[in-house]
Structure 1
Amino acid sequence: MAKASDTVTFSAPNGGDIKFTAMGFGSACIGNYRRALTEEESDATLEAAWDSGLRYFDTAPFYGFTLAETRLGRLLACRPRDSFTLSTKVGRIMDPCSPDETDQSLYVGAADFIPRFDYSYAGVMRSYEESLARIGVDRVDILYVHDIDALVHGGRDAAVARTHQLFDEGGWRALSELRSSGDVRALGIGVNEWQPCALMLELADPDLFLLAGRYTLIETEPLTTLFPECEKRGVGIIIGGPYNSGILAGGDTYNYGDVPADIAETVSHLRSLCHRHQVTLPGAALQFVLAHPAVTSAIPGPMSAEEVLSNVSYMDEPIPAEFWADLKDAGVIPGNAPVPA
């Protein structure tokens, strides 16, 4: 059973070894996702992650419209650069705006910027350089192309068109140059669907995918559609959203919206099985995703120091083999799904 702070060494197909911790830190929440955090609350959350031994931090310009990168930079400023692994994202430019123009619907109290999609060579390079300045580092380890999926762009055809734009306008060439020069060590995409990852395997030479919410206790489609090819090519998977945005951790949202009836029924069944075996549902959710050999790290997005500590404790929770067997017998997870030993 992996502990949150266990070191996982990933050998990038197109580069060297990169060290992760089994649990990382997803920073969308410290960008004030749905709820404003004070600077003190954000700092305490990040400090709790560091003190718990977490050493992989993922961020993006979009989170809080630069707010998450800036806040994360305060934590990392006084840490040796080789003591942590850092990823951020490209694909959006943050254009300054007046306070009354800032969209507060997703990130409450976001910084005064308007995000604009840009997958061009110049856009990728600008986004990368601005992220370095905001975080206050001279390099990042991993760059993901952010949100190049149907959920964001309004349909599968639009997402595919955006992906081709990444190649036609030089965005992937910019990323490849950064990797070839050693400025970054690995490339990939950070998305909420598995289909864009499969397309990228056809079009390019990615090292890692950050897949949010699509491989969980209640969603396992990538088990047969994506993961086998990733294993064949040595492409790593980082799991974001292991709780499906809250429903698997006691929340009342599923993938950032209302909970459909069929999902509610599945989760109710899961809770019954957890109760029978005296297992917490969040503990089962975290340990399940990390059991797959293609998965390198899982990155929940805590909003407080208390949530950080809870996530760490879930990794230490003993879960009997009979629990996983019952999940398979009940058809909650597929019979071929890897589970913790």
Structure 2
Amino acid sequence: MSATAFKTRRVGRTDLELTELGLGGATLAGMGNTEVPDEQARAVVTAALDAGIGYYDTAPHYGDGRSEHLMGDALRYRQDGVAISTKVGRLLRPVRSEAERTVPRGWTYPFPFEIKYDYTYDGVMRSYEHSLQRLGLGHVEILLVHDIGTKSHGDEGYKKHWADLANGGYRALDELRRNGDVKAIGLGVNEVPILLQSFEIGSWDIFLLANRYNLLEQSPLESLFPTCAKNGTSVIAAGPFAAGILAGTNVWGPDTGQYQAAPPHIIEKVKALQAVCQTHNIPLGAAALQFGVAHPTVVSVLTGPKSPAELDGILKWWNTPIPGGFWDALADQKLVAPGTPLPNGRVA
């Protein structure tokens, strides 16, 4: 697998730069009961390094610690020039057997732990220290507050966790940033409203937003992206394939944040996009992948291949030439929202 000369973009007002294509660690941990053996997971990260990808995201939640462990194994001695993000908000407590689990198991071969939500000052600091130990690394570049919205916790749970973040958790993140322990802080969610609300409690460098900015949805254009630009906050666009349907599956990431079979209106939209792709003789996956970085607020597009072969396919899509007429057709047929920046320089 030959290396690609990936462009980099600066995160907010920091001196940190990310490659425009990143590698996510959820799938590597067996998300949705996907079978990914340990050696295969490590091989994906190694192949991404060999290909020139310089940004890697993981979290304690992914495989109950498994993703951090496996990603750290592959990154440990090749960390120069690489940016890593992990997340806070979930601590892991050990369980001696599957019968002891009080949280439903959502991963293939998870580590013998289960999550406990904690967005307090102490919880954030403990999560950061535990992540370094699981990764086996001396530092990470980005810390993100993970899944703190109402869709994750309900109205009452959200109020408690938000108060914990506002009254202590943010102070921990800001302290780590000011001390130079991390270079950037932000949130990693799939809910736009919580990102807008976050500006009320502090200054954020970057948001990781999943399944909300892709060829099927451009809702962040309305208020989030302008607010981010005003505040010097960058965005990582995770889920460019909308959970898979733009890459050839029938799986879609809806408003619940849970992946499921796509409903009819989404299938019809995908068919319309595929028709334009066929006219211009390009794969839909290539268009979906290259779409996000056309927006100046987006610094990286995050994908989650589960094998070196899938990564190779993503790299081919990334390097597929797409004629400007394709993007013009999307705008002319109103298949993207008005005001959407497109890779050919046009604004829909």
Cα deviation, residue 314, structure 1: 0.9
1:41-82 Cα offsets, whole Å, 9 max, x none, are 112211111111111010000000000000011111111x43
Match of 2:339 among 312, 336, 339: 336
Cα deviation, residue 139, structure 1: 1.2
Match of 1:279 among 278, 282, 302: 282
3-state SS of 1:313 partner? helix
**Which residue is 2:256 aligned to?**
none
Cα deviation, residue 158, structure 1: 4.5
Q: Does 1:45 align with 2:44?
A: yes
Distance 2:317 2:329 in 1: 20
1:133-182 Cα offsets, whole Å, 9 max, x none, are 11111111100000012221135x643553232112x1111111101100
TM-score (norm 1): 0.94
Cα deviation, residue 229, structure 1: 1.2
1:105-153 Cα offsets, whole Å, 9 max, x none, are 4211111111010001111111000000111111111000000122211
Distance 2:311 2:162 in 1: 34
Q: Which residue type is aligned with residue 267 of structure 2?
A: A
3-state SS of 1:267 partner? helix
3-state SS of 2:61 partner? coil
3-state SS of 1:324 partner? helix
**Which residue is 2:77 aligned to?**
78
**Which residue is 1:109 aligned to?**
109
**Which residue is 2:312 aligned to?**
309
Cα deviation, residue 225, structure 1: 1.9
Distance 2:292 2:319 in 1: 15
Q: Which residue type is aligned with residue 138 of structure 1?
A: G
3-state SS of 1:202 partner? coil
What value does the CA root-mean-square deviation take over the aligned residues? 1.6
1:248 and 1:282 in contact (8 A); partners too: yes
Unaligned runs of 5+ in 2: 254-258
Distance 1:69 1:5 in 2: 26
**Which residue is 2:273 aligned to?**
270
Distance 2:299 2:9 in 1: 8
Q: How many residues align?
A: 334
**Which residue is 1:146 aligned to?**
146
Distance 1:5 1:31 in 2: 28
1:286-335 Cα offsets, whole Å, 9 max, x none, are 11111110000011011010111111111111111111111112211023
Q: Which residue type is aligned with residue 308 of structure 1?
A: L
Distance 1:160 1:50 in 2: 40
**Which residue is 1:237 aligned to?**
235
**Which residue is 1:206 aligned to?**
204
Distance 1:119 1:236 in 2: 22
Q: How does 1:216-235 map to 2 (within 5 A)?
A: 216-235=214-233
**Which residue is 2:195 aligned to?**
197
Q: Which residue type is aligned with residue 115 of structure 2?
A: P
1:4 and 1:22 in contact (8 A); partners too: no
Query: How many percent of aligned residue pairs carry the same amino acid?
Result: 39
**Which residue is 1:88 aligned to?**
86
Q: How does 1:113-192 map to 2 (within 5 A)?
A: 113-155=113-155, 158-168=157-167, 170-192=168-190
Q: Which residue type is aligned with residue 142 of structure 1?
A: I
1:5 and 1:23 in contact (8 A); partners too: no
Unaligned runs of 5+ in 1: none
For CA contacts below 8 A with separation 6 or more, give which structure has more relative contact order.
1
Distance 2:297 2:63 in 1: 30
3-state SS of 1:203 partner? coil
1:20 and 1:297 in contact (8 A); partners too: yes
3-state SS of 2:199 partner? helix
2:60 and 2:68 in contact (8 A); partners too: yes
1:256-307 Cα offsets, whole Å, 9 max, x none, are 1121111111111111111111111111111111111000001101101011
Moved over 6 A (4+): none
Distance 1:52 1:41 in 2: 16
TM-score (norm 2): 0.92
Distance 1:160 1:318 in 2: 47
1:104 and 1:110 in contact (8 A); partners too: no
2:9 and 2:300 in contact (8 A); partners too: no
Moved more, 327-336 or 132-141: 327-336
Q: How does 1:9-88 map to 2 (within 5 A)?
A: 9-13=9-13, 16-33=14-31, 34-79=33-78, 81-88=79-86
Q: Which residue type is aligned with residue 226 of structure 2?
A: P
